[in-house]
Amino acid sequence: MKIEIITIPKEGETENGDAYFVRVADDGTTLAVIDGIGHGAEAHLASQTAVECLEECCGQDLVDAIKECHAALQSTRGAVIGIARIVDECIRFSGVGNITALKVGGGESHFTSMNGIVGRNLKVVKTFFYPYSVGDVIVMHSDGIEKLDITRYDLSHDLRDIGDAILSKHRVDDDSTILLAR
């Protein structure tokens, strides 16, 4: 699986409040996009705390990983997190808050996230399951990218080029992260 991620801070900020996590292991490929609430240093601290937590705990069940992050982020302003794990022909997805995540291939499947903020306000966390076939493209992004209609892109192109094109067209005034995997 090829994975490309582009993440850039809000204009005028030196620290990025968005972050990502990737782990390729025998038990599957795990992809996460994290958006620390707000922007700047406090958002950066929140999202980096989540990355450090995932480095420790992401071999676990995804719901448990999010609960671990919730505990770790208590002293921060919190973050929204989407985590996908691809194992054989299945994608598992657990999300809290507004990380957009979808799969393209045989149509579009948008992954379901639950409401809440990790570290602040966590209610129900669930894992949803989606079929995965080789060649399908997984797209995940923060709310620093808006109004993206992925069907307008030729997903057979180089993923980095697609990511650059998406950022140039759909970036808004926030930290912005796009993750593409195929």
Interaction site with Mn ion (CB under 5 A): 35, 143, 174
32 vs 91, beta carbon nearer Mn ion: 32
Residue 118 Cβ vs Mn ion, minimum distance, rounded to whole Å: 14
- Pick the closest to residue 82 from 170, 5, 163, 168 (CA basis): 5
Contact 79, 46 (CB under 8 A): yes
Residue 52 Cβ vs Mn ion, minimum distance, rounded to whole Å: 20
16 vs 30, beta carbon nearer Mn ion: 16
Q: Which two tokens stand for residue 54?
A: 């995932």
34 vs 91, beta carbon nearer Mn ion: 34
Residue 74 Cβ vs Mn ion, minimum distance, rounded to whole Å: 20
Contact 113, 81 (CB under 8 A): no
35 vs 136, beta carbon nearer Mn ion: 35
68 vs 174, beta carbon nearer Mn ion: 174
Residue 142 Cβ vs Mn ion, minimum distance, rounded to whole Å: 5
Q: Which two tokens stand for residue 1?
A: 């699986």
Residue 82 Cβ vs Mn ion, minimum distance, rounded to whole Å: 12
